[in-house]
């Protein structure tokens, strides 16, 4: 069955055949039926998960997909986990509910993929990815070439062919992804995050972040602070990867 996952609090690391995601609170991920994946959660993560029948889902994507969770999605998934698996199969109201949930996926996942980094295929590009992971703040093409033995021309060609990004675009994407992780935690000021991920100025970081995410870093922090308050102890049951409430 398809899996529709809402991250209520905490963090999820998802790896599929075409790449990987880091999914932070207030985001949805769609995992299609039969798709191999590795799913890991940080300690204390709270998730709402719905299993959707492929035969009633009029939208399908070949791979995993992550996006922002609109308010309707959050409300529906919070409601969905009240039913037991047996009730979800037998109750008419539950069947109609999950049919509506399935049909809404087309709208919710209409935007480009976010928080996603593609998987490298060649040994050279896997080495590049490791270099970027360990040197994100000061990563450079010259540094990547020195660390991996690839020429500038070969590195740029492999970035385009395997990752779908040019070098500059890929570094920017990796930095914004890491910035989203740090800002969502609510423990780091915007200026510190800008330096940690390698932007030369706060203004450049703010412009790049807003262009990619659709809100400024400060707005992003406020938004996720609200999400954390809504998911505070007493409002949602804490669970881990082995104790997900699922339908």
Task: Give this prediction's pTM.
Answer: 0.65
Beta-carbon contacts of residue 209 (< 8 Å; ≥ 6 apart): 176, 179, 216, 217, 220
For residue 82, the surrounding DSSP H or E stretch is none
Beta pairing class for 116-118 and 19-23: antiparallel
Q: What is the pLDDT of residues 38-50, one digit of tens each?
A: 888 877 788 999 9
Give residue 93's pLDDT: 94
Q: Is the pLDDT assigned to residue 109 strictly greater than 70? A: yes
Average pLDDT, the chain: 83
1 and 32 in contact (C-beta within 8 Å)? Answer: no
Percent of the chain exceeding pLDDT 70 equals: 88
């Amino acid at each position: 069955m398809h899996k529709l996952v809402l991250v209520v609090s905490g963090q999820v690391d998802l790896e599929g055949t075409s790449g990987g995601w880091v999914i932070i609170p207030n985001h949805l991920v769609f995992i299609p039926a039969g798709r191999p994946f590795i799913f890991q959660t940080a300690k204390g993560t709270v998730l709402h998960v719905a299993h959707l029948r492929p035969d009633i889902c009029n939208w399908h994507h070949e791979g995993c997909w992550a996006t922002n969770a609109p308010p309707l999605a959050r409300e529906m998934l919070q409601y969905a986990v009240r039913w037991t698996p047996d009730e979800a199969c037998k109750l008419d109201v539950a069947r109609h509910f999950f049919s509506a949930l399935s049909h809404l996926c087309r709208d919710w996942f209409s935007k480009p993929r976010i928080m996603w980094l593609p998987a490298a295929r060649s040994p050279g590009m896997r080495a590049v990815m490791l270099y970027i992971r360990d040197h994100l703040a000061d990563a450079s093409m010259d540094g990547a070439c020195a660390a991996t033995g690839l020429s500038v021309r070969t590195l740029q060609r492999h970035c385009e062919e395997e990752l779908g990004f040019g070098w500059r675009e890929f570094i920017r994407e990796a930095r914004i992804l890491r910035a989203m992780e740090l800002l969502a935690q609510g423990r780091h000021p915007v200026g510190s995050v800008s330096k940690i991920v390698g932007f030369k100025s706060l203004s450049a970081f703010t412009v790049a972040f807003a262009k990619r995410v659709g809100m400024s870093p400060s707005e992003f922090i406020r938004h996720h602070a609200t999400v954390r308050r809504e998911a505070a102890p007493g409002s949602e049951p804490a669970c881990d990867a082995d104790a997900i409430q699922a339908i």
